[in-house]
Amino acid sequence: MKSAKDRFRFILTLIMVFAVISFVTGVFVACQKKQVIKITAKKFEYSPNVIRIKKGVPVVLEFSSLDSVHGFTVPDLGGVRATIEPGKVTQVRIVAPKAGTYEFHCDLFCGDGHEGMTGKIIVEE
Amino acid sequence: MKIDRRDFLKLMGMGSAILVLGPHSLAGAATTKAGQDDFFFVQLSDTHWGFNGPQINPDATGTLKKAVAAVNSMKSQPDFVMFTGDITHTTDDPKERRKRLAEARDIIRGLKVKNIKFMPGEHDAGLDNGEAFQEYFGKTHYTFEHKEVYFIVIDNVSDPTSSITDTQLQWLSAELKKLDKDSRIVVFTHRPLFDLYPNWDWWTRDGAKAVDLLMPYKNVTVFYGHIHQEHHHMTGHIAHHAAKGMMFPLPAPGSVPKRVPIPWDSAKPYSGLGYRRVEAKVEKAEYVLTEYPIKKG
């Protein structure tokens, strides 16, 4: 038979274990929480069209279209691309391994002005 | 690999000519057949009928007509004329799109030569998957044979993702299987099949798959448009030749931050605009390209 003292120690240990787990999980989640940048697309521009991020830090670009279907691609970032449809939120996760400027553009022909629908991602150290 | 122009560029008369060495010439192992006739055709590209921008081209309604008149004035007429896309400038309005397609078609009907081949650019077909284009100019991908040269027209614009698509690639594969490995093959596309400059969308997303299908064939040459300037490139033994446009020139790939049209130079009107004569030396599988400028008048 365990004594009341033993039961108290056991419960206390359990509480401490849960506390440690909760703390570690909280720190982990906080670390994993990605930066989200909202971007709107419309004929024939992205807003914002200059995005600054940190090297090696995951970022989620959250697109929404204000008119028709548009595309998004960054050829020099592993060819990441997305189709941005009106009425939907489209998320694109990017991680830039190197500092520098990466051009992006609409890769779904969207009309007279499509060629100018561009932007840049500036990756800082 | 870029073609070294110094190796074989020569100037002739009013246009510059490039003797394009075919794979046979490079390998020195030509397979010749008796009775193969030489001939020439004209490549016209990116006429952008309907474009409006006086700073870029104050004669926007004149250049296509001038090209038609210039081809008609050639001493000998081409066997055919090929339009490699962007015949019209894009518009969101389907009615206006059809109006532009009809007007361009009617002007082009003024050519003396009646064997005229068409294919779309993204301005003609990118907003409606080629629906309106087909009403006026027919199929967007097809083959034809002329004097033992096999011409393959590949549509890499009707799908808005700049893709040929698997369905068309299967068709291409089936068409190629009908040909001998040493057949003379000429491919027409609008966009480059290789990654010329993806940052400006100067590529075809699945173009490498088409090049892979073409690679086993010894004599393949690709003519394309889209980039509004003369450009020559090799992928293995396959030569790719971009043509000038008829409405406005574009900067060299990656030479400036944005791919915007080069403004009109009143000191050099029509500079950067032109069309191309392609003389096919069928037996040798060689092509002589002659570039002609648009002229005043």
pLDDT in tens, B110-127: 999 999 999 999 999 999
Q: What integer pLDDT is reported at residue B277 of this predicted model? A: 98
- Mean pLDDT, chain B, rounded, equals 90
Contact at CB, B160 and A108, closer than 8 angstroms: yes
Chain B residue whose CA is closest to A83: B161
Instruction: Spell out which chain A residues touch chain B, with contact meaning CB-CB distance below 8 angstroms.
Output: 69, 71, 75-76, 79, 103, 105, 107-112, 114-116, 118
- For chain A, how far is it from start to end, CA to CA, in angstroms? 62
Per the CB < 8 Å rule, is A115 touching B89? Answer: no
Which pLDDT value is given to residue A25? 57
Across the range B172-186, mean pLDDT stands at 98
Which pLDDT score is estimated for B1?
A: 42
Residues of A in contact with B92 (CB under 8 A): 111-112
Q: Would residue B80 count as lying in a domain?
A: no
Nearest-10 crossing angle of helices B94-108, B63-72: 20
Identity of the amino acid at B51: F
pLDDT in the model for residue B120: 98
Q: What is the pTM of this model?
A: 0.86
Number of A–B residue contacts, CB under 8 Å: 40
Report, as an integer, the average pLDDT of B72-86. Answer: 97
Q: For A104, name the nearest residue in chain B, comparing CA atoms only.
A: B199
pLDDT confidence tier of residue A113, bands split at 50, 70 and 90: very high
Domain span at residue B180? 5-28+35-75+85-293
Region of poorest pLDDT, from A33-47, A102-116, B7-21: B7-21
Mean pLDDT of B186-213: 97
Q: Is the pLDDT of residue A11 over 90?
A: no
| Residue among A44, A76, A109, A115 with most chain B CBs within 10 A, to mutate | A109
In the chain, the amino acid numbered A70 is: H
- Taking CB atoms and an 8 Å limit, are B127 and A111 in contact across chains? yes
pLDDT for the residue A19: 66
List the structure tokens of A56: 């090696």
The yes-or-no verdict on residue A22 having pLDDT over 90 is: no
DSSP string for chain B: ----HHHHEEEETTEEEEEEPPHHHHHT-----TTPPPEEEEEE----BT---TTT-TTTTTHHHHHHHHHHTSSS--SEEEEES--B---S-HHHHHHHHHHHHHHHTT-S---EEEE--HHHHTTTTTHHHHHHH--SSEEEEETTEEEEE---SSBTTTB--HHHHHHHHHHHHTS-TT-EEEEE-SS-SS-SBGGGTBS-TTHHHHHHHHTTSSEEEEEE-SSSS-EEEEETTEEEEEPPBSS---PPTTSSSS-PPPPP-TTSTTTTBEEEEEEEETTTTEEEEEEEE----
Any idea what the CATH number is for the domain that residue B112 is in?
A: 3.60.21.10
pLDDT of res. A79? 83
Task: Give, to the nearest 10 degrees, the angle between helix B207-214 and helix B166-177.
Answer: 10
Rounded Cα–Cα distance for residues A86 and A67 (Å): 6
Contact A118 B258 (CB under 8 A): yes
Q: How far apart are CA B8 and CA B145, in angstroms?
A: 28
pLDDT tier at A16, thresholds 50, 70, 90:
confident
Render pLDDT for B18-54 as a digit per residue (tens, 0 to 9). 555 444 443 333 444 545 689 999 999 999 999 999 9
Q: What CA dihedral angle connects B135, B100, B200 and A90, to 10 degrees?
A: -70
pLDDT score recorded for residue B25: 42
Number of domains in chain B: 1
Task: Establish if B117 belongs to a structural domain.
Answer: yes
Q: What is the pLDDT of residues B255-270, one digit of tens each?
A: 998 899 999 999 999 9
**DSSP designation for A3:** -
Bridge pairing between strands B15-20 and B39-44: unpaired
B187 is a domain residue: yes
Share above pLDDT 70 across residues of chain A, in percent, rounded to a whole number: 86
pLDDT of residue B4: 40
| ipTM given for this complex | 0.84
Q: At CA A114, angle to CA A108 and CA A118, rounded to 5?
A: 90
Q: Which helix (H) or strand (E) holds A100?
A: strand A100-105
Reply yes or no on whether the pLDDT at B186 is more than 90. yes
Does B3 have pLDDT greater than 90? no
Please enumerate, as own/partner, the contacts of B68-71 that have beta carbons within 8 Å and a separation of 24 or more: B68/B107, B68/B108, B68/B110, B68/B111, B70/B275, B70/B292, B70/B294, B70/B295, B71/B42, B71/B44, B71/B111, B71/B112, B71/B113, B71/B275
- Residue whose tokens read 């009341």: A4
Q: Which residue of B has its CA nearest to A79?
A: B198
| Over residues B202-213, mean pLDDT | 97
Chain A hits for B251, CB-CB cut-off 8 Å, are none
Min distance B158 CA to chain A CA atoms (Å): 10
Q: Which chain A positions have a beta carbon within 8 Å of B91's beta carbon?
A: 111-112
A chain contacts of residue B160, beta-carbon cutoff 8 Å = 69, 71, 108-109
High-pLDDT (> 70) share of chain B, %: 87
B116 part of a folded domain: yes
B266 located within any domain: yes
Residue B75 distance to chain A (closest CA, Å): 38
Closest chain A residue to B156, measured at CA: A109
- Asked if A112 lies within 8 A of B198 by C-beta distance, the reply is no
pLDDT at B246 over 90: yes
**What is the average pLDDT across A24-39?**
68
Considering only the beta carbons, identify the residue of A71, A112, A116 that sits closest to B89.
Answer: A112
* Residues in B touching A110 (Cβ below 8 Å): 127
Q: How confident is the model at residue B297 (pLDDT cuts 50, 70, 90)?
A: low
- Find the residue in A nearest to B125 (Cα): A109
Which tokens hold the place of B5?
Answer: 């122009």
- Identify all chain B residues contacting A75, using CB atoms and an 8 Å cutoff: 198-199
- Above 90 in pLDDT, residue B5? no
- Contact list in A for residue B89 (CB cut-off 8 A) is 112
Q: Residues A121, A99: contact at Cβ < 8 Å?
A: no
Binary contact (A116, B260; C-beta < 8 A): yes
Answer whether B199 sits within 8 Å of A103, measured CB to CB: yes
Q: Could you report the per-residue pLDDT of B51-78, keeping only the tens digit for each?
A: 999 999 999 999 999 999 999 999 999 9
For chain B, which residues lie within 8 Å of any Cβ of chain A, measuring from their own Cβ? 89-92, 122, 126-127, 157, 160-162, 198-201, 258-260
First to last CA, chain B: 39
Q: What is the average per-residue pLDDT within A99-103?
A: 96
Say if B42 falls within a structural domain: yes
CB A96 within 8 A of CB A82: no
How far are the Cα atoms of A43, A108, B136, B139 from residue A81, in angstroms, in the given order? 18, 10, 33, 30
